[in-house]
A = this chain, B = another copy of it.
Amino acid sequence: MTVAATFADFATEWAPRIEGALEEIVPASDARPGELHAAMRHALFPGGKRLRPMLALIGARVTGGDVEAAVRPGAALELLHTYSLVHDDLPCMDDDDLRRGRPTCHKVFGDAVAVLAGDALLTLAFEVVAEGGAAAVRCLGRAAGSLGMVGGQAADLAAEGREDPGSFEELRWIHDHKTGALITASLEVGALAGGAGGNLSSLRQYGEKIGRAFQIADDVLDVTGTAEQIGKPPGSDEERRKLTYPAILGLEEARAQAQALADEAAALAGAICAGGERSTLDVDQGLLQDLASRIVTRSA
């Protein structure tokens, strides 16, 4: 029986496994030092959509791999994403008081503990992703470091303080690194942890396209969303004169580009799934197509 595979169904099915893995991976709040573990848990729970772990599981599935084997490495991607939020929210960075509608880590535990909680989440991410093999570690390291996510964040901060509004090329470079690199790596880490050999270049291209679409959608939401939808006051990008897609392209053109990227990503589904001789090829392709579509139509 071929069932329609929607991303929502897939996420509903696997969300408890990801939550369970995160719960198991992070030491309890009474493990010494308790305040540090409480801070890590404050940042992680309750979570959002756990998009990056879901991408890892999908990466394992559509390459014909073992989805179970990708659960803990997938959860590691959430640890890494959460560290980046904790550090981004610090007073010396974006100075945000709210995250997912709750006080940010440093507002509750102080700046020093927040720095250390972020460091510990990042370290734990690598310890756990190593269960998916050394190739998964290297993939994540490249995507998350100075030539990836952290590099994008540094360039973003540098651009924020300037008079010069910046070019479209710069905007795209920042977003591809700050957001896109980890989204692409999530799919790839999942594929590697699930046991996929062979060429993952179509999967990577898919990741780059949905990563870019995701960031454009995020920028658009910051303009059009409500505080309830985005978990923080809307309009904060404009207030800080951040370099964003709507600021450079206008809202309509930004939306159109996100949609075009999602369509291009969806068109890659066949090439990504063609590798195996699985009975679920149609379902897997449908899942990748639905995911690409959801990325741009999400409202939170």
Residues of A within 8 A of B (CB): 27, 31-33, 35-37, 40, 83, 87, 90, 92-93, 110-113, 115-116, 118-120, 122-124, 126-128, 130-131, 133-134, 137-138, 140-142, 144-147, 150-151, 153-155, 157-158, 173
Contact = CB atoms under 8 A, between A and B. Distances in A.
Q: How many copies of this chain? A: 2
A154 B39 CA distance: 11
B158 A119 contact: no
Contact of A126 (B27, B92, B141, B153): B141
B130 A146 contact: no
Contacts of A124: 141, 145-146
A102 to B, nearest CB: 21
Given A116-B153, A119-B150, A120-B146, A33 B126 contact: no
Most buried by B among A35, A36, A133: A36
Nearest to A147: B27
Contacts of A147: 27, 31
Given A36-B154, A154-B33, A155-B32, A127 B116 contact: no
A127 B123 contact: no
Contacts of A151: 32-33, 36, 120
